[in-house]
Amino acid sequence: MSEIFARRLVASGHVQGVFFRDRTRREAARLGVTGWVRNCPDGTVEAHLEGPAEAVGKLVRWCRDGPRHATVYELRVSDATPEGFARFEIR
């Protein structure tokens, strides 16, 4: 079994109202990543990603651009503690 890695992301820019959360959920499902994504009151999108290092890395790279209509000005990435999520959800 692969070691589980976790990362916390905060995306800023034009990231709300452009299906960022839904597309992140779909990419996570495709890559086998669990966790969650949510809109924050300050206009950013925050996510917690868990899974094998390669899959989490691919999702982090995808989030640097986001979906077609998003404009990501900054993506802050930090280590997180795995929490054992069974799926990826929108909060």
Complete domains list, the chain, with CATH: 5-90 (3.30.70.100)
Q: What are the Cα distances from residue 86, in Å, to 3, 41, 90?
A: 15, 26, 13
Residue that the structure tokens 């890395």 belong to:
57
> Catalytic residue at 39?
yes
Catalytic residue (one of 23, 25, 26, 39): 39
> Catalytic residue at 21?
yes
14 and 70 Cβ atoms separated by less than 8 Å: yes
What are the tens digits of pLDDT across the range 8-64? 999 999 999 999 999 999 999 999 999 999 999 999 999 999 999 999 999 999 999
Catalytic residue (one of 7, 8, 21, 91): 21
pTM of the model: 0.94
For the chain, report the end-to-end CA distance as a whole number of angstroms: 28
Structure tokens at 49: 């990603």
Asked whether residue 2 carries a pLDDT value surpassing 90, the answer given is: no
